[in-house]
Amino acid sequence: MSLANKLAEERRGRLAAERLLELKQSELAAARRKLDRHAQELSAEIDETRAEVATVRDENIRVKSDLSVAHHKVEVAERRLWHSIETVTDGFAFFDDTNQMLAANRAYLTIFDGMELIRPGVNYITILQVLTDEGIVNTGDMAPDDWRAMMTQRWMAPYPEPTTIRLWNDQYVKLIDRRGPGGDIVSLGLNITATVVYEARLKEAREVAESANRAKSAFLANMSHEIRTPMNGVVGMADLLTDTGLNEEQRLYVDTIRNSGEALLTIINDVLDYSKIEAEKLTLHPEPFDLERCIHEVIMLLQPAAREKDLKLLLDYDLFLPTRFVGDPGRIRQVLTNLIGNAVKFTSAGHVLVRVTGVPADQGGMGQVNIAIEDTGIGIPADKIDHIFGEFNQVENERNRQFDGTGLGLAISQRLVKLMEGKVWVTSEEGQGSCFGFSLNLETAEQEVPRHPAIPKGVHRVMVVDDIAADRLILERQMQMLGLNVVSCKDGAGALQMLNDSIDLVLTDHNMPDMDGLELAQAIHNAGHQMPVILLSTNPGYADRDPARKYLHALMQKPVPRRELFTMLETLGPIAPPKAEMPEPKATSLRKMRVMAAEDNKTNQLVLRKMLAHLNIDLQFANNGEEAVALFQSFAPDLVFMDISMPKMDGKDATRAIRALEAESGTAVPVVALTAHAMDEEEATIMAAGLNHYLTKPLRKNALENQVLAACPEGVQPPLSQQAQAS
């Protein structure tokens, strides 16, 4: 091979080797680049992992520190809690579900005075044992065993009731124990000594106040007794004096004494009532009563005062309203007397009209009754309306007050009505008149069997004569209710004109201008009419003495209760002949009724003797309780009047002794208390001593007479002559 070839081949070989080298070099470079990249990636990964590790390490550190902060907080809170629990003066302890003490504060443990036994781990039952054994607790009347049994039973209850224990040193601890859901118990012992002492002091103060109040009531009762006893002498004697021959001047003096005495008694009663209401001592005594009759009685009582001023006192009782209710008639009468009395007092001309309406009874039998008292008097200025209901308040518009009064009447009435759960109202116009009203919710009582009056056959038309329109209207309605035809006239002249034989009956008012009722009756008679004439008079006593009385079929006190009028109509017949003198009963061999009166006060004995003097009885006196018991045995009375306050033996003891004597013989004589005590409580104790009735001083002739008549046994001479009874 030529050199050239060889060279060429060598060059070719060299070139191929160079190319291979280049190739390998480029492969090597690529591999290096890959390696670099890989290395880069790896180092990035390492960096990342390192960062993550660092984060986790940081997190760990933070969590650790948070944990230690939390730990610290818990420690602080726990320390504070215990500190607080230790600081409070009340006892605090925890028990587990096996009743073992887990922890207790110092106050809890102090009670046990550092006893080793009482510490965490002790059982509650042991604590109870220690409390009684060491005399830490004062179990009072209870035996220690019983006390522990009671306390254990309480502790075991799912919800133990709070209880108060008394310690040996008179400290009081209220135990409040709460059972948790797992059976643990938190036990709290509150020192309530201050509260208990305070309550005891309050109780003591209340007792002192109550006894002061009782003392006040007793003082009032005594005061009323002390004043009433001499007043009995004054009023009673003045009353008797009026029946003796007096000249005009003397009569005026006596009337003044009596009226002043009665006024004084009214004031005493007002003050007494007001104090009783204030002291919440006034109790109501509900019973069935007739409201219409009750109003009539009040009107009768006030009639003389109204008559003096020529005032008409009218009653308009709703015809469809029942009359019998359940209520306290005494207190309702008191309110009526106050309101109607005021209306009469503050009215100088015109009329006073009592209007009774109502809302019928509901299912429970309760109905509303409204009573309004209208007058045509002086009225009340608008700015004084609220003022007058205050105690001792009066409208002072005149410089010199011309009306008597304490200013207590309305205050008492309002309180009484409130006590009866009713309300009072008033409307008034100065110079025109006033209307005072009150409403009560009253249960209707069993009505007296409603009896339609049997009007005699032939009576169809009735004439009503009255100058007052309201009065006429009331009578008209009452007559129409009976199915009668009514002709109304406002005066006698008109009546005479309209009268003819179709009129079967005349009902006439007494006091009318021009021609009064009696003159009308006479004129009717003179005109030859035969129909009966009934006179309604506010002053029947006066009318009865009039010669024209003989022309009347009947004479009735006005206003007439509906029922009484109806009963009277039933008796209609020929005109009664003039009243004939009744023959006195012939002397009989019957004995007189024996009445014994026990009374220590000589003046009152005299009053009693005089008040009973008109009675045909054998009256004997005892000067005290002891004498009364002795006289009771020797005299054997049919009736005993018994004073309550007497020396040696009081009326209650004397009555007890009499009742004991009677128990042997099996008799029971009525014993009537005569007392100046006006308190309800007194009445109860008097009745409890065996007395049957109760009369308050000052004594009234009528009340005494009624008691004698009621007690009169058969087989004795009548205490009253027939004539006296008839009139």
Contact residues for 655 (Cβ-Cβ < 8 A; gap 6+): 640, 642, 671, 689, 690, 691
- What CA–CA distance (Å, rounded) separates 196 from 655? 47
Closest-by-Cβ residue to ligand ADP is 405
- 609 neighbors 595 (Cβ within 8 angstroms): no
Using CB under 6 A as the criterion, which residues of the chain lie in contact with ligand ADP when the complex forms?
Answer: 338, 342-343, 346, 375, 377-380, 388, 394-395, 405-411, 434, 436
Nearer to ligand ADP, 408 or 455 (CB): 408
Nearer to ligand ADP, 311 or 654 (CB): 311
- 571 neighbors 624 (Cβ within 8 angstroms): no
Residue 548: DSSP 8-state = G
- 122 neighbors 98 (Cβ within 8 angstroms): no
Please give the single-letter amino acid code of residue 192: I
Q: How far is the CB of 328 from ligand ADP (least distance, A)?
A: 20
Nearer to ligand ADP, 391 or 680 (CB): 391
Nearer to ligand ADP, 407 or 456 (CB): 407
Q: How far is the CB of 275 from ligand ADP (least distance, A)?
A: 16
Q: How far is the CB of 399 from ligand ADP (least distance, A)?
A: 14
Nearer to ligand ADP, 431 or 483 (CB): 431
Parallel, antiparallel or unpaired: strands 433-444 and 671-675: unpaired
Q: How far is the CB of 298 from ligand ADP (least distance, A)?
A: 15
Nearer to ligand ADP, 395 or 499 (CB): 395
Task: Render 647-711 in DSSP notation, one character per residue.
Answer: SSS-HHHHHHHHHHHHHHHT----EEEEE----HHHHHHHHHTT--EEEESSP-HHHHHHHHHHH
Q: How far is the CB of 228 from ligand ADP (least distance, A)?
A: 20
DSSP-based three-state secondary structure for 721: coil
The residue count of the chain comes to 727
Nearer to ligand ADP, 408 or 534 (CB): 408
Q: How far is the CB of 521 from ligand ADP (least distance, A)?
A: 35
Q: How far is the CB of 301 from ligand ADP (least distance, A)?
A: 16
Q: How far is the CB of 302 from ligand ADP (least distance, A)?
A: 12
Nearer to ligand ADP, 344 or 506 (CB): 344
Q: Measuring CA to CA, which residue among 116, 125, 118, 129 is closest to residue 91?
A: 118
Degrees, nearest 5: CA angle 390-391-394 = 75
Nearer to ligand ADP, 253 or 392 (CB): 392
Q: How far is the CB of 415 from ligand ADP (least distance, A)?
A: 11
- What CA–CA distance (Å, rounded) separates 672 from 655? 10
Burial class (CB in 10 A: 0-12, 13-18, 19+), 394: middle
